[in-house]
A and B are shown apart, each in its own frame.
Chain A
């Protein structure tokens, strides 16, 4: 099936998210949409999926104009979509989820899942999905849940599959598996639109690459194009993707975490007996798939968690049991994982956000009264220094793009002399151009002799910044490995193998078996159930 978008324009008020986009997806090809966050990729796909009505332009399926007034129309026309955030009911089984919205019923409206089960088994067998129709979705690993989403689309006879940032939630191994699946689907005649901002993946799997920038198609590229070339197309100027980072010159160890355990209210261990230390002038990168205790680790240091055992020592002072204020005053700079939720007050001005945790200090305030002139002057200086793109530092912080918001948070946290700098997902949702800048600032802080902890789920970032890399899995430390370790090693550790076992597996066996670990786990659950 051939899909063509002609002159698609979508505007929200004054904002034009898509500007006359032309796109042709040929039958049986993997077509990548490459663009930064906010470039308009998802908007375009939502138009295609019938979620948004285009302001102008038309959609052609097999050279015939179609009009979608909702996802149901798009599905009927053979278009399926796997959203970045899965649309699954966690407490339903795979079959129930797949049937949802297109249930076949017997007499008296009784649900008949047999047909759905059969289809799931058929598709599973054909593409080697290894999915049990009767497994509960919430018990499946993320990679398998994603396959359920794909099955959902295939059961509805999707000829074109849209995958919206599908690798964001996957381990490197799961990503490789997904790419295999994409190739198989393509061999079976399904076209795939693959949305991503990760150059490596796009290059690995695409037949055609279309680059979108600020709502416009800026060109198409061949997968064999150089990574830097793709990056410059995406950003609109030349970017250097590799950080010129000198080797760390670690000083004395001033930050030590010993036997740290963090529990939730129910007593469940979110972080389990973690011990490590960071030296002055060194970056420790903490890797792991989202939700394996990284958030808890950083929040425990800052004093945001109630149930913390163990010890966190900075410069000889115990931090456990102190308030956030005291921890910040002890010289900890903290960039939270979710800048909009925890890092900024959206309706406050940029200037106010730049003093969000400094407002009580002179010269920003005196005798309980804020000094607006000083705060405004500080904002001007920081906006210039960190190249925050804004019309005025008095604009509300939520008018800024993600990258610029992150610059504001970083500018604030790096403003005072630090004894420890912690940044969680410092470049999530940030454009490639800003990433370069933010990384340089973080390395500069390291070079100034501050111990730095970076938590990131992006392996590229971990490898780029980390002088040493710690991997967390299910709240446990899988080990700390040198900064230049292989992706395969880190991937195995992220999937739950301690460092030595992961090394042994890589040394002892062929690389092929290593990739099957997550699928193998899923297989066991399935075996127990059937």
Chain B
């Protein structure tokens, strides 16, 4: 049945390769889909929490004798877990220390590099490039920032500015390579950026064992950054939230202006939506690919700065964590819009901040958070799934096709 239905559906004319068509649809869906994807992921996460909870399985043992017990066990298990997640990410009156009560600032701290690297993916995508290489660009940005941060000794403010600039340049170089290869040889940016991720990791590991190594340590780790090179903490030493957040918010505003108001952004969007028309209108498509990857890489590089000069203080091979990959999800969830990316990054920051609290206070494995995040990706990547769950009519544009 579904097979014949498929045949009967009038297919819109395919103007670009199937793959990029799919990616485009995923990235440009509406906000409702994003919200519903999160909701459905949380519901399924809740089911997983319930079935893995021993109290629920005990109660279900005498389900027919007392079905209410099972339901109340499910309710208490799921509400405790998500309650702990929510409190951990925002405000938890039960925490022992007053710093611990204010999880919202941990959320903001985790969100900072996600905002910046999410913007990197978003910007490149709007120009039609799928930048999978935020991870490598973050690592390079952090390495460049670190080299300036602990290798040089400059006066306050100037040192920090130098660190920020170096990080942006490091990321821009790494992103720019992919843009240059795309523009000059047509090499696909997805392949190139994935490979550059591996190269970045190996390169930094090499540097950490040689040039950037802390001579006092036996591990592959760099010396600590100068105090002048660090982002000032916004709320004093009790909280980790740092001035990188301000950089990130400025970047959201800047990318928003770039995309929606500037002639450069007009070019990027035209190139992303229809490169042939852009070329016919006199735009230099290949130059657009190079510059957008430079800017995208610089944004990811700033995420690297936020890591090393915000929270980590020294460079090691784990500096980027999984930020570069979460950035892709964040950009997807944010529908490749600057403010959408911002809020998606906040959500992921909250997952990270609240996940620990959930593990500790509700005794739910922190892996649940990873599962929920993965489910979000799944549901966003399959908009028809969400649509069929909620019976949303696809807003298709169909001509009379005569």
Q: Which A residues are within 8 Å of any B CB, using their own CB?
A: 12-13, 15, 17, 35-43, 51-53, 69-70, 215, 302, 304, 323-325, 327-329, 334, 336, 340-348, 352, 356-357, 359-360, 365, 368-370, 372, 398-399, 401
Max count, chain A CB within 10 A of own CB: residue among B7, B261, B280, B399 = B280
Q: Are A69 and B402 in contact (CB under 8 A)?
A: no
Given A12-B10, A359-B266, A368-B263, verify A43-B282 contact (CB < 8 Å): no
Q: Are B277 and A356 in contact (CB under 8 A)?
A: yes
**Given A41-B402, A357-B281, 20 more pairs with CB closer than 8 A:** A15-B398, A17-B401, A17-B402, A38-B399, A38-B402, A43-B401, A52-B8, A324-B281, A325-B282, A329-B282, A340-B15, A341-B276, A342-B276, A343-B280, A345-B269, A345-B274, A345-B277, A345-B278, A368-B262, A370-B263
Contacts of A40 in B (CB 8 A): 400, 402
* Residue among A327, A348, A399 making CB contact with B397, cutoff 8 Å: A399
Q: Are A356 and B402 in contact (CB under 8 A)?
A: no
Q: Which B residues are within 8 Å of any A CB, using their own CB?
A: 4, 7-8, 10, 15, 28, 261-264, 266-267, 269-270, 273-274, 276-284, 393, 396-402
Q: Are A345 and B282 in contact (CB under 8 A)?
A: no
Contacts of A344 in B (CB 8 A): 274, 277
Given A15-B398, A325-B282, verify A370-B262 contact (CB < 8 Å): yes
Chosen A-B contacts, 16 in total, with CB atoms closer than 8 Å, are: A13-B398, A38-B399, A39-B400, A70-B4, A304-B279, A324-B279, A334-B280, A340-B15, A342-B277, A345-B278, A346-B274, A347-B273, A348-B273, A369-B263, A370-B266, A398-B397
Residue of B nearest to A365 (CB): B263
Contacts of A342 in B (CB 8 A): 276-277, 279-280
Given A38-B402, A343-B277, verify A69-B270 contact (CB < 8 Å): no
Contacts of A368 in B (CB 8 A): 262-264
B342: min CB distance to chain A, Å: 22
* Residue among B264, B280, B399, B401 making CB contact with A302, cutoff 8 Å: B280
Give Cα distance in the complex from A343 to B282, angstroms.
Answer: 11
* Residue among A70, A323, A346, A359 making CB contact with B273, cutoff 8 Å: A346
Contacts of B396 in A (CB 8 A): 12-13
Give Cα distance in the complex from A39 to B274, angstroms.
Answer: 27
Q: Are B402 and A37 in contact (CB under 8 A)?
A: yes
Give Cα distance in the complex from A401 to B400, angstroms.
Answer: 9
Contacts of B4 in A (CB 8 A): 69-70
Residue of B nearest to A361 (CB): B263
Contacts of B7 in A (CB 8 A): 51, 70
Given A342-B276, A348-B273, A352-B266, verify A42-B402 contact (CB < 8 Å): yes
B284: min CB distance to chain A, Å: 7
Q: Are A15 and B274 in contact (CB under 8 A)?
A: no
Contacts of A36 in B (CB 8 A): 402
Give Cα distance in the complex from A40 to B276, angstroms.
Answer: 29
Q: Are B281 and A356 in contact (CB under 8 A)?
A: yes
Give Cα distance in the complex from A340 to B273, angstroms.
Answer: 11
Residue of A nearest to B399 (CB): A38
* Residue among B15, B261, B400 making CB contact with A15, cutoff 8 Å: B400
B263: min CB distance to chain A, Å: 5
* Residue among B15, B263, B282 making CB contact with A341, cutoff 8 Å: B15
Given A13-B393, A13-B398, A35-B402, verify A304-B280 contact (CB < 8 Å): yes
Contacts of B284 in A (CB 8 A): 323, 325
Q: Are A359 and B263 in contact (CB under 8 A)?
A: yes
Residue of B nearest to A325 (CB): B282
Contacts of A356 in B (CB 8 A): 270, 277, 281
Residue of A nearest to B280 (CB): A342
Give Cα distance in the complex from A90 to B280, angstroms.
Answer: 31
Residue of B nearest to A197 (CB): B402
Q: Are A370 and B10 in contact (CB under 8 A)?
A: no
B285: min CB distance to chain A, Å: 10
Q: Are B401 and A42 in contact (CB under 8 A)?
A: yes
Give Cα distance in the complex from A133 to B289, angstroms.
Answer: 50
Q: Are B15 and A328 in contact (CB under 8 A)?
A: no
Contacts of B280 in A (CB 8 A): 302, 304, 324, 334, 336, 342-343, 357
Give Cα distance in the complex from A107 to B10, angstroms.
Answer: 39
Q: Are A360 and B15 in contact (CB under 8 A)?
A: no
Contacts of B277 in A (CB 8 A): 341-345, 356
Q: Are A38 and B8 in contact (CB under 8 A)?
A: no
B399: min CB distance to chain A, Å: 7
Give Cα distance in the complex from A40 to B10, angstroms.
Answer: 13
Max count, chain B CB within 10 A of own CB: residue among A43, A51, A345, A365 = A345
Given A369-B261, A370-B263, verify A38-B400 contact (CB < 8 Å): yes
* Residue among B10, B264, B269, B398 making CB contact with A348, cutoff 8 Å: B269
A346: min CB distance to chain B, Å: 7
B1: min CB distance to chain A, Å: 11
Give Cα distance in the complex from A493 to B284, angstroms.
Answer: 38
Give Cα distance in the complex from A44 to B82, angstroms.
Answer: 55
A391: min CB distance to chain B, Å: 15
* Residue among A43, A53, A399 making CB contact with B400, cutoff 8 Å: A43
Give Cα distance in the complex from A35 to B270, angstroms.
Answer: 34
Residue of B nearest to A364 (CB): B263
Contacts of B281 in A (CB 8 A): 324, 328, 356-357
Residue of A nearest to B278 (CB): A345
Max count, chain A CB within 10 A of own CB: residue among B261, B399, B402 = B402
Contacts of A370 in B (CB 8 A): 261-263, 266
Residue of B nearest to A360 (CB): B263
Give Cα distance in the complex from A359 to B8, angstroms.
Answer: 42
B5: min CB distance to chain A, Å: 9
Residue of B nearest to A33 (CB): B402
Contacts of A35 in B (CB 8 A): 402
Contacts of B398 in A (CB 8 A): 12-13, 15
Give Cα distance in the complex from A51 to B10, angstroms.
Answer: 9
* 8 A-B pairs with least C-beta separation: A357-B281, A325-B282, A38-B400, A324-B282, A356-B281, A342-B280, A345-B274, A12-B398
Q: Are B263 and A17 in contact (CB under 8 A)?
A: no
Q: Are A52 and B10 in contact (CB under 8 A)?
A: yes
Contacts of A327 in B (CB 8 A): 282
A352: min CB distance to chain B, Å: 7
Residue of A nearest to B393 (CB): A13
Residue of A nearest to B16 (CB): A341
Give Cα distance in the complex from A40 to B399, angstroms.
Answer: 10
Give Cα distance in the complex from A341 to B279, angstroms.
Answer: 11
Give Cα distance in the complex from A215 to B401, angstroms.
Answer: 11
Max count, chain A CB within 10 A of own CB: residue among B7, B261, B269, B400 = B400
Contacts of A334 in B (CB 8 A): 280
Give Cα distance in the complex from A348 to B126, angstroms.
Answer: 12
Residue of B nearest to A336 (CB): B280
Give Cα distance in the complex from A239 to B106, angstroms.
Answer: 70
A101: min CB distance to chain B, Å: 15
Residue of A nearest to B394 (CB): A13
Q: Are B262 and A39 in contact (CB under 8 A)?
A: no
Contacts of B276 in A (CB 8 A): 341-342
A332: min CB distance to chain B, Å: 10
Residue of B nearest to A35 (CB): B402
Contacts of A17 in B (CB 8 A): 400-402
Contacts of A52 in B (CB 8 A): 8, 10
B247: min CB distance to chain A, Å: 22
Give Cα distance in the complex from A499 to B375, angstroms.
Answer: 68
A91: min CB distance to chain B, Å: 22
A334: min CB distance to chain B, Å: 7
Q: Are A345 and B10 in contact (CB under 8 A)?
A: no
Give Cα distance in the complex from A4 to B317, angstroms.
Answer: 74
Give Cα distance in the complex from A398 to B13, angstroms.
Answer: 12
Give Cα distance in the complex from A69 to B276, angstroms.
Answer: 39
Max count, chain A CB within 10 A of own CB: residue among B10, B15, B393 = B10
B362: min CB distance to chain A, Å: 45
B3: min CB distance to chain A, Å: 10
Q: Are A215 and B274 in contact (CB under 8 A)?
A: no
